[in-house]
């Protein structure tokens, strides 16, 4: 067995991915099924001088993370549906103020308290549109324990590179499941580093190429003395009510992600090249889907599997390209139809898109997806 | 004193406050206290929430963080915990701090984290034009209390003290010298410090309650207060309905970041061969 192989829980892998990426600050509030991340951070971070704090609620948690990030530290919080809802206002703040922060949302059944210990995938749209106003987000959905490590690491890479809040959209099963994981050699990690200015002279905190440029971020306490505000602001950081300033700012923030959709896309494909029926899924639903697709292939049916790891920004072009041969596309997800809307939009009538929602709080059984495949052929 | 305006972003002036508003007076007191203590401008982070008072930080030449409504203290907690060497000051109002932000306020006090919180209490939501707040006296008028405030007000200083703040004081925009002096002491206290500054909002609170202009409102505030030293010699009937001003509470309590650092040191002695984490983090120094 390789030296770095370990039996590991999804939440544990997520924490280790964050630490590998240079996590220095964690603020959180207990909530099932994400709590193990907070517990592990409270234990691990002090060992290397990192900071943990259990805040009074999730609003405080995201706020503290943003504050910490402004001092130059890599910060993360972890939560589930109800807490994720509470964080939305400050996610918008981080988005507008361009403050890197990673938010792990281990999805559970909702709305409301719902079924706290049951898996769900109902936060697809909340992750995209939870905060008010036009904005872009990055959301990554791990499909197994190893990806909890990899995608949390990647979340920091994106957060630092694009100065955006990045959401790791896991679910109860992915995060509580244990699998053997072989972690990469730590010396191979390319630690994400924030682009910083070199001198306070002439520093413009929001000076960047209007076509999606990312401004350099000065850490607080280093003599830059800049103003960070959730009001629309000009390049100098000064609040502005001018139409042109608002227009330019929102367009730059939008382009920042929009022009990098292809760089951000990430997926797992199997047997898609010649498929007649494709299954597009993510997270724990995709585990059952993959099993069903393989069974269908064994039975001579041309089924294909596309599992999205990057959910937002939605990879329209990749979906169209990879599903080119498919006449039908089945979208299994543990909600009443959220991702399917995006697939439909991207496919734009080129194939029949079939919704396969499940809201029982139980995982898909491969038989259910296999049955849908059989019906589709 | 250095040139007063040296602490301001001159290009951001004039400010948005109404003529006769007390917030400028409180901001001035804070600047004078900072100047007197000779604090390093580059090591101060000013954090605020939403409201008239929270606009103060935008005019000041420090690292400044104008956050979401009610959350200033939570953001400040992140800044301070991440980098304890910074001097973290919160400028907030009665609505921002004690209504929507009440939970963060009491928990920061409980932790006794080294943050100085200046609460500009004008008993109203000025930015939204004069609704009643948690500090509007019972019976007084607001645009959402057209028949007189049904609710009873918080005593902000008692709340801070009961929650665990290690320095609690109150002054007003009338008692400017006292206010400056108390802010200076608050800045020196290592722990969660609260200075409540009663200020006037003539535009909404004063007008709605027919108290008069800024001067009448300042006098009204002054008449509601008694210095804590003078109060000791006064009979209870003279103190009825009065708010005490001066240094109200001071206690030696362990500070959050210091205790966290001690815990970290203990953990690191135990795990001194630890290989994880802390890679590529040149800013991880404190």
Give the domain CATH number at A137. 3.40.50.970
Question: How far, in Å, CA of A69 to CA of A91, rounded?
Answer: 13
- Alpha-carbon gap, residue B70 to B260, rounded angstroms: 25
* B265: enclosing H helix or E strand: helix B256-270
Predicted local confidence at residue B270, as pLDDT: 87
Chain A residues whose CB is inside 8 A of the B68 CB are: 63, 89-90, 93, 230
Q: How many CA atoms lie within 13 A of B13 on its CB side?
A: 9
Chain B residues close to A46, C-beta within 8 Å:
260, 263-264, 267-268
Cβ-count burial of B36 within 10 angstroms (0-12 exposed, 13-18 middle, 19+ buried)? Answer: middle
Task: Check residue A184 and give its pLDDT.
Answer: 84
Q: Which among A27, A66, A221 has CB closest to B43?
A: A221
Give me the pLDDT at residue B195, please.
98
For residue A221, tell me if it sits in a domain.
Answer: no
A224 to chain B: nearest residue by CA? Answer: B63
Question: What's the domain range around A353?
Answer: 264-376
pLDDT at B283 over 80: no
Q: How far apart are CA A8 and CA A18, in angstroms?
A: 15
Flag if B279 and A238 touch (Cβ within 8 Å): no
Is the confidence at residue A183, as pLDDT, over 70? yes
A126 assigned to some structural domain: yes
Residue A55 pLDDT more than 60? yes
Residue A245 lies in a domain: no
Tally of CB atoms within 10 A around A200: 13
Q: Residue B281 and residue A60: Cβ atoms within 8 Å?
A: no
Asked if B153 and B136 touch (Cβ cutoff 8 Å), the reply is yes
* Close Cβ partners of A212 (under 8 Å, ≥ 6 residues apart): A252, A254, A255, A256, A257, A258, A259, A260
In this prediction, residue A77 carries a pLDDT of 98
**Which of A132, A155, A188 is the last residue in one of the domains?**
A188
The answer to whether the Cβ–Cβ distance between A73 and B268 falls below 8 Å is no
Backbone angles phi, psi at A51, to 5 degrees: -120, 130
* Chain B positions in Cβ-Cβ contact with residue A61 (cut-off 8 Å): 74
For every residue of A325-366, DSSP letters joined together read T-SEEEEEESSSSSHHHHHHHHHTTSSEEEEEE--SSSPPPH
Residue B281 to residue A53, Cβ atoms within 8 A: no
Q: Are residues A125 and A274 in the same domain?
A: no
A248 found inside a domain: no
Instruction: Give yes or no for residue B285 having a pLDDT over 90.
Output: no
pLDDT surpasses 50 at B284: no
Residue A35 lies in a domain: yes
Same domain, A179 and A275: no
| % of chain A with per-residue pLDDT over 90 | 96
Distance from CA of B47 to the nearest CA of A (A): 9
* Confidence at residue A1, expressed as pLDDT on a 0 to 100 scale: 64
Query: Could you tell me if A311 and A260 are in contact, meaning their C-beta atoms sit under 8 angstroms apart?
Result: no
Tell me which DSSP letter residue B13 carries. Answer: P
Range A53-56 contact pairs with CB under 8 angstroms and sequence separation of 24 or more: A53/A26, A53/A27, A53/B77, A53/B78, A53/B81, A54/A27, A54/A28, A54/A29, A54/A30, A55/A27, A55/A28, A55/A29, A55/B74, A55/B77, A55/B107, A56/A29, A56/B74, A56/B103, A56/B104, A56/B107
Average pLDDT of the segment spanning A209-232: 98
Q: Tell me the torsion sign for CA atoms B242, B243, B246, B248.
A: positive
- Confidence check: pLDDT of B280 > 50: no
- Residue B286's pLDDT band, with cuts at 50, 70 and 90, is very low
Does A130 fall in a domain?
A: yes
Nearest chain A residue to B86 by CA distance is A221
Residue B250 · residue B167 · CB < 8 Å: yes
Report CB contact under 8 Å: B280, A193. Answer: yes
d(CA B222, CA B111): 33
Given CB atoms, is A330 within the 8 Å cutoff of chain B? no
Q: Could you tell me the pLDDT band of residue B4, with boundaries at 50, 70 and 90? A: confident
- If one counts the domains in chain A, the total is 2
Distance CA B282, CA B145 (A): 54
Give the rounded distance of the alpha carbon of A87 from its chain centre. 15
State mean pLDDT over A194-213. 96
pLDDT tops 80 at residue A228: yes
State the Cα–Cα distance between residues A217 and A207, nearest whole angstrom.
10
pLDDT at B282 over 50: no
User: Is the model's pLDDT at B30 over the cut of 70?
Assistant: yes
Name the pLDDT band for B275 (thresholds 50, 70, 90).
low
Distances (CA, A) of A209 to A204, A235, B169: 12, 11, 48
- The pLDDT, as a whole number, for residue B2 is 59
**Chain A, nearest residue to B58 by Cα:** A227
Q: Would you tell me how many other CB atoms lie within 10 Å of the CB of residue A20?
A: 21
Domain co-membership, A180 together with A32: yes
Mutation test of the interface with chain B: which of A6, A25, A195, A225, choosing the one with the most B Cβ atoms within 10 A?
A: A225
A282 & A159 share domain:
no
Q: What is the CATH number of the domain that holds A319?
A: 3.40.50.920
Residue B103 with chain A: CB contacts under 8 Å? 56-57, 60
Rounded Cα gap, residues A265 and A322, in angstroms: 12
Cα dist. A77→A129, A311, B105, B137, B264 in Å? 19, 19, 21, 39, 20
Tokens of B148: 């007189």
The reply to whether B75 touches chain A by the CB within 8 Å rule is: yes
Within 8 A of B66 by CB-CB distance, chain A residues are 227-231, 239
Render the burial of A229-241: b for 16+ CB within 10 Å, e for the rest: bbbbbbbbbbbbe
Chain A closest CA to B64's CA: distance in Å? 5
What's the mean per-residue pLDDT of chain A?
Answer: 97
Assess whether A180 and A271 both reside in one domain. Answer: no
Tell me, yes or no, whether A198 lies in a domain: no
Domain boundary among the residues A166, A188, A210 is at A188
Q: What are phi and psi of B121, to 5 degrees?
A: -105, 105
Confidence category of residue B266, pLDDT binned at 50, 70, 90: very high
* Same-domain check for residues A64 and A183: yes
Give A317-336 as a DSSP string: HHHHHHTTT-SEEEEEESSS
| Per-residue model confidence as pLDDT tens digits over A281-325 | 999 999 999 999 999 999 999 999 999 999 999 999 999 999 999
Query: Of B11, B42, B81, which is closest to A53 when you measure between CB atoms?
Result: B81
**A103 pLDDT more than 80:** yes
For residues A60 and A183, membership in a common domain is answered with yes
Q: Find residues 49-88 of chain A whose CB sits inside 8 Å of chain B.
A: 49-51, 53, 55-57, 59-61, 63-75
Asked if A67's CB is within 8 angstroms of B74's CB, the reply is: yes
Residues 6 or more apart whose CB falls under 8 angstroms from that of A309 comprise: A140, A141, A142, A143, A147, A151, A266, A267, A268, A282
* A313-356 pLDDT tens trace: 999 999 999 999 999 999 999 999 999 999 999 999 999 999 99
Q: Where are the domains of chain B?
A: 8-255
B284·A73 Cβ contact <8 A = yes
Q: What is the CA radius of gyration of chain A?
A: 21
List beta partners, residue A257. none
Give the pLDDT confidence score for residue A377 in this predicted structure.
95
Give how far B236 is from chain A: nearest CA, Å.
Answer: 38
Indicate the fold that domain B8-255 takes in CATH: Rossmann fold (3.40.50)
Test B78 with A27 for CB contact under 8 angstroms: yes
Give me the residues of B, 221-280, that contact A with CB < 8 A. 260, 263-264, 267-268, 271, 274-280
Lowest model confidence (mean pLDDT) among A202-216, B27-41, B134-148, B258-272: B258-272
Search chain B and give the residue with CA nearest A239. B58
Local confidence band at A189 (pLDDT 50, 70, 90 cut-offs): confident
User: ipTM score here?
Assistant: 0.97
pLDDT score, position A346: 98
- Chain B hits for A44, CB-CB cut-off 8 Å, are 276-277
Residue of B nearest to A232 (CA): B66
pLDDT in tens, B53-76: 999 999 999 999 999 999 999 999
End-of-domain residue from the set A138, A153, A188? A188
Q: Specify the pLDDT at position B281.
A: 41
Q: Do B65 and A70 touch (CB under 8 A)?
A: yes
Chain-chain contact of B277 with A70 (C-beta, under 8 angstroms): no
Q: What is the mean pLDDT of residues A190-201?
A: 93
Which residues of chain A from 92 to 111 reach within 8 Å of chain B, CB to CB?
A: 93
A92, A84 Cβ separation under 8 angstroms: no
The answer to whether residue A213 is domain-embedded is no
């Amino acid at each position: 067995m390789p030296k770095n192989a370990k039996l590991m829980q999804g939440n544990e892998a997520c924490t280790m991915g964050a630490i590998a990426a240079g996590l220095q600050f964690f603020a959180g509030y207990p909530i099932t099924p994400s709590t193990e991340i907070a517990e592990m951070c409270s234990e691990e971070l002090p060992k290397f001088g990192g900071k943990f704090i259990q805040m009074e609620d999730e609003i405080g948690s995201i706020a503290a993370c943003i504050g910490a990030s402004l001092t130059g530290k890599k910060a993360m919080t972890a939560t589930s549906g109800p807490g994720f809802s509470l964080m939305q206002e400050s996610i918008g703040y981080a988005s507008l103020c361009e403050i890197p922060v990673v938010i792990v949302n281990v999805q559970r059944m909702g709305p409301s308290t719902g079924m706290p210990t049951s898996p769900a995938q109902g936060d697809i749209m909340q992750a995209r549109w939870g905060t008010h106003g036009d904005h872009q987000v990055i959301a990554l959905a791990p499909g197994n324990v190893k990806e909890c490590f990899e995608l949390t690491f990647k979340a920091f890479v994106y957060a630092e590179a694009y100065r955006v809040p990045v959401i790791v959209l896991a679910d109860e099963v992915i995060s509580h499941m244990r699998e053997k994981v072989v972690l990469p050699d730590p010396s191979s990690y390319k630690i994400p580093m924030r682009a910083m200015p070199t001198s306070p002279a002439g520093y413009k905190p929001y000076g960047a190429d209007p076509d999606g440029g990312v401004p350099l971020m000065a850490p607080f306490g280093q003599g830059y003395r800049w103003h960070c505000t959730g009001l629309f602001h000009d390049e100098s950081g000064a609040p502005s009510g001018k139409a042109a300033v608002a227009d330019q700012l929102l367009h730059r923030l939008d382009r920042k992600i929009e022009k990098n959709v292809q760089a951000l896309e990430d997926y797992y494909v199997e047997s898609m090249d010649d498929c007649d029926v494709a299954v597009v899924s993510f997270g724990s639903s995709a585990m059952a889907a993959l099993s069903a697709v393989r069974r269908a292939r064994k039975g001579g049916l041309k089924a294909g599997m596309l599992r999205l790891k990057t959910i937002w920004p939605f990879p329209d072009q990749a979906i169209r390209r990879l599903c080119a041969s498919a006449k039908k596309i089945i979208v299994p997800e543990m909600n009443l139809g959220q991702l399917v809307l995006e697939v439909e939009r991207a496919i734009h009538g080129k194939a029949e898109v079939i919704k396969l929602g499940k809201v029982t709080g139980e995982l898909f059984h491969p038989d259910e997806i296999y049955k849908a495949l059989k019906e589709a052929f | 004193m250095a040139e007063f305006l040296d602490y301001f972003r001159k290009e951001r002036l004039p400010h948005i406050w109404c003529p006769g508003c007390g917030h400028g007076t409180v901001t001035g007191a804070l600047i004078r206290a900072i100047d007197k203590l000779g604090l390093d401008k580059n090591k101060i982070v000013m954090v605020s929430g939403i409201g008239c008072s929270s606009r103060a930080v935008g005019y000041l030449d420090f690292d400044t963080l104008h956050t979401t409504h009610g959350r200033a203290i939570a953001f400040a907690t992140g800044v301070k915990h991440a980098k304890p060497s910074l001097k973290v000051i919160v400028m907030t109002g009665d609505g921002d701090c004690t209504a929507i932000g009440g939970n963060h306020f009491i928990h920061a006090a409980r932790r006794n984290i080294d943050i100085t919180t200046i609460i500009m209490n004008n008993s109203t939501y000025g930015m939204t034009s004069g609704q009643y707040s948690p500090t509007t006296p019972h019976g007084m008028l607001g645009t959402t209390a057209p028949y007189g405030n049904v609710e009873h007000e918080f005593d902000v200083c008692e709340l801070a003290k009961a929650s665990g703040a290690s320095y609690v004081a109150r002054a007003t925009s009338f008692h400017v010298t006292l206010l400056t002096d108390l802010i200076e002491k608050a800045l020196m206290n290592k722990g969660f410090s609260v200075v409540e500054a009663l200020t006037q909002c003539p535009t909404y609170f004063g007008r709605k309650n027919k108290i008069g202009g800024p001067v009448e409102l300042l006098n009204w505030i002054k008449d509601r207060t008694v210095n804590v030293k003078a109060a000791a010699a006064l009979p209870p009937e003279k103190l009825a309905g009065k708010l005490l001003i001066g240094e109200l509470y001071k206690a030696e309590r362990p500070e959050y970041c210091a205790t966290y650092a001690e815990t970290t040191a203990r953990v690191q002695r135990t795990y001194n061969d630890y290989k994880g984490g802390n890679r590529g983090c040149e800013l991880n120094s404190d």
